[in-house]
Amino acid sequence: MTTELESTRRALRDAITQAERAAELARLLDAAQAKLAAAEQSADEVKALAEQLGEVEERLEAEQAAADKLRRELAEQRFQAEVANWKLSSIKVARWNRLGDAIKSGKNNPMRLAKGLRGAAKPVKRPIAPKRKPVAADKAKDERPGAAFQATSTIRTLGGASFKLRPFRVPTGPNTRPHLTAAVIADPHAEALLRYEWRQTTGFTPRDFARVLPLEVPHLLVVESVTEGPWVQELTGEPGEGLKALLAWCAERGIRTVFWHTQGDVADYAAAAELFEHRFTTDLTVAWPRLQFGVQPRVHNPLPLAGGRIDRVLTLDQLLPGHLRYPDVLTSYRWPAAADCPPGTPQWRLAEIAACNTPIGTEADTRRAHVALRRAYGMGTMTERVDELLEAIGLPSARATLDTSVMLPILDPFLMEHGLAQVAKQSGVSQLIVIGPPEAELRARDVLPDVEVIYRRPHPAMTEGAMLDAGIDLCEADLVAVMDPRDVYGPHYLSDLRRAFLFSTADIVGKAAFYAHLRKPQATLLKQPDAEYSYLPEINGATLIARRNTLRELGFADLTEGWDEVLMRQCRTDGIKVFSTDRFGYVRVRDEDRWLLGAAHLVEYGSAEPHALI
């Protein structure tokens, strides 16, 4: 009986303790729910404030644009008033006017007439014609391509939730052909594709082109089949008088004229198009020469957003709501983990998304994204399209190239065949500088029959850095690449690296993110996977490709191991930009490397090539 009573008491005590704990948990739960509700309310308030801020920023930008327009119009009115006063003053001092005044005032007085005629015969200094002054603005105007073409919409909404993005900064200058000036009438999309290809004049209207274009007379006029703006009425249906006057103005000055049909029914523009010297189209059903859209490397590239990607797959409608300006479209391209595009999406749209390294489909597959990026560039860039245009209309297209000299230092004769085979895979190699054993010269000419081969035999004690320093003066191409005969390079390795010079501002490009294979443990490693597409303090020397003049100024340290570390330190000292590209196309191969084992992620035990060479 006593035992049962004690057990009951103990059970009651446990029950009371548990009840107290439950009450405390309920109290804590209530407090947590209250805090959660307060946090949700605060989040809603922050979201509302962010939306208001975005609206205020857009209104402010619109007001600034209106103020700039008014400022320009006022300045123009003042200038026209100065011109009118100058013309009046010029008339007053003109000899014929002064003769007329003398005759009129002296017609009844011969003495006054003679005196007036003598005065009118004397030369009088004419007033100086006024010059159009630059319009004062709140900030100095940046005339580089893209300076006034920046994203403004930073808020995106998905399923009722708002996301604040850090907009993609559209790059400014330089352009591909600074010697060439084009006057362009185009919608924002085509204007964005063309603005980096030449010095571009836009924004003129049927009323003011005769005032704007003489400030920098263009070499050619390119007019797109626009669907918005002041030129639409001039181009559709019966050609307008403003268009006819513009084309006549160009004809008087020998300026070539090009009509580019990219959208709309060609019949709507047919009459206007007949007035141009040259006509091109993107429509396969139209019997004009083809000029398709191409990706523009300056804006369609894998440079990421500052805030990274959202961990979602978005449909095309979610990705590109209808209100976005084209600079904001460039931000959206880089935002999702993947873009699910429906059948019938225009090919140029798919290419632009792929060129921004965004996977297309329902999964975020980085390997497929890289292949799609490569394919998008392979379909043609706007630089190549403009080359076609200029060739067709008879204008020169002088521009820098991406021709490459490869330096291959061979310290171990047993690596000669492997090293030459890696170079032979590459495209765009115009010159090979091989420094190694005597048999390397003939073998290199056999393996690379279409490449200029320059051979140098090293001194017995020559380091790899000394070989490279001797080879740099022999290079003649615009770009110089260093390849290591120990490593494995994929067939797209050099073309992938060269692409970075089209969109980055770096003088040296390479890989800080790369795969490595260690033979003894048979381990495949991935070094610095987060270092893709970014400016970094250093890259792997065996993946280096640089502008020739930059390497000549820097030189190479007299070292076999570590010459690249010295080079990177010199870059940091001199302020030379170094850019790391993707992780693919290259495998660093060593027997063992304790430093690499401690600094890289283990992928698997096995070959690295299936992971790296895509």
| Main-chain dihedrals φ then ψ at residue 228, nearest 5 degrees | -145, 160
Asked whether 410 and 419 are in contact (CB, 8 A), the reply is yes
Instruction: Give 61-81 as a 3 state SS string.
Output: HHHHHHHHHHHHHHHHHHHHH
Collapse the DSSP code of 6 into the 3-class scheme (helix H, G, I; strand E, B; otherwise coil) and give the result: helix
Asked whether 181 and 198 are in contact (CB, 8 A), the reply is yes
Instruction: Give the DSSP H/E element, type plus range, for residue 546.
Output: strand 545-547
* Least reliable range by pLDDT among 113-122, 175-184, 581-590: 113-122
The pairing of beta strand 404-409 with beta strand 479-482: parallel
Q: What is the pLDDT of residue 507?
A: 95
Q: What is the pLDDT of residue 159?
A: 83
Burial pattern 302-324, b for ≥16 Cβ within 10 A else e, equals: bbbbeeeeeeebbeeebbbeeeb
Q: What is the pLDDT of residue 307?
A: 85
Contacts of 394 (CB under 8 A, 6+ apart): 256
Does the structure show a pLDDT above 60 at 32? no
Mean predicted confidence (pLDDT) in 468-473: 95
Q: What is the pLDDT of residue 126?
A: 66
pLDDT digits (tens, 9 = 90+) for 128-177: 777 666 665 544 444 555 555 787 778 888 888 888 888 898 887 678 99
Does the structure show a pLDDT above 90 at 104? no
Contacts of 385 (CB under 8 A, 6+ apart): 291, 292, 293, 294
Tokens 């020739």, residue? 548
Asked whether 273 and 259 are in contact (CB, 8 A), the reply is yes
Angstrom distance (rounded) from CA 365 to CA 32: 39
Angstrom distance (rounded) from CA 278 to CA 394: 11
Mean predicted confidence (pLDDT) in 335-356: 96
Confidence of residue 506 (pLDDT cuts 50, 70, 90): very high
* Least reliable range by pLDDT among 7-11, 202-206, 393-397, 482-486: 7-11
pLDDT digits (tens, 9 = 90+) for 263-280: 999 999 999 999 999 999
**What DSSP character marks residue 191?**
H
Q: What is the pLDDT of residue 48?
A: 56
* Least reliable range by pLDDT among 7-11, 466-470, 495-499: 7-11
Angstrom distance (rounded) from CA 39 to CA 27: 18
Half-sphere exposure of 457 (CA within 13 A, CB side): 6
Is 283 exposed, middle or buried, given 0-12, 13-18 or 19+ CB atoms closer than 10 A?
A: middle
Half-sphere exposure of 347 (CA within 13 A, CB side): 10
Angstrom distance (rounded) from CA 163 to CA 305: 14
Half-sphere exposure of 268 (CA within 13 A, CB side): 14
Residue type, 579: F
* Cα Dmax for the chain: 156
| Main-chain dihedrals φ then ψ at residue 454, nearest 5 degrees | -120, 125
Mean pLDDT of the chain: 87
Q: What is the pLDDT of residue 13?
A: 74
Contacts of 253 (CB under 8 A, 6+ apart): 217
Is 334 exposed, middle or buried, given 0-12, 13-18 or 19+ CB atoms closer than 10 A?
A: buried
Asked whether 260 and 283 are in contact (CB, 8 A), the reply is no
Angstrom distance (rounded) from CA 422 to CA 484: 9
- Residue percentage of the chain with pLDDT more than 90: 66
Angstrom distance (rounded) from CA 146 to CA 503: 13
pLDDT digits (tens, 9 = 90+) for 384-437: 999 999 999 999 988 888 999 999 999 999 999 999 999 999 999 999 999 999
pLDDT digits (tens, 9 = 90+) for 440-456: 999 999 999 999 999 99
Q: What is the pLDDT of residue 53?
A: 55
Angstrom distance (rounded) from CA 510 to CA 329: 29
pLDDT digits (tens, 9 = 90+) for 293-324: 999 999 999 999 988 899 999 999 999 988 88
Is 1 exposed, middle or buried, given 0-12, 13-18 or 19+ CB atoms closer than 10 A?
A: exposed
Half-sphere exposure of 588 (CA within 13 A, CB side): 21
Is 50 exposed, middle or buried, given 0-12, 13-18 or 19+ CB atoms closer than 10 A?
A: middle
Mean predicted confidence (pLDDT) in 1-26: 67
Q: How many other β-carbons are positioned within 10 Å of the β-carbon of residue 158? A: 13
List the structure tokens of 262.
Answer: 């990219």
Distance of CA 487 to the CA centre of its chain: 31
Asked whether 327 and 382 are in contact (CB, 8 A), the reply is no
pLDDT digits (tens, 9 = 90+) for 37-82: 554 565 455 455 545 655 665 566 667 767 777 777 777 777 777 7
Does the structure show a pLDDT above 90 at 531? yes
Instruction: Give the DSSP H/E element, type plus range, for residue 405.
Output: strand 404-409
Mean predicted confidence (pLDDT) in 593-604: 81
Does the structure show a pLDDT above 90 at 99? no
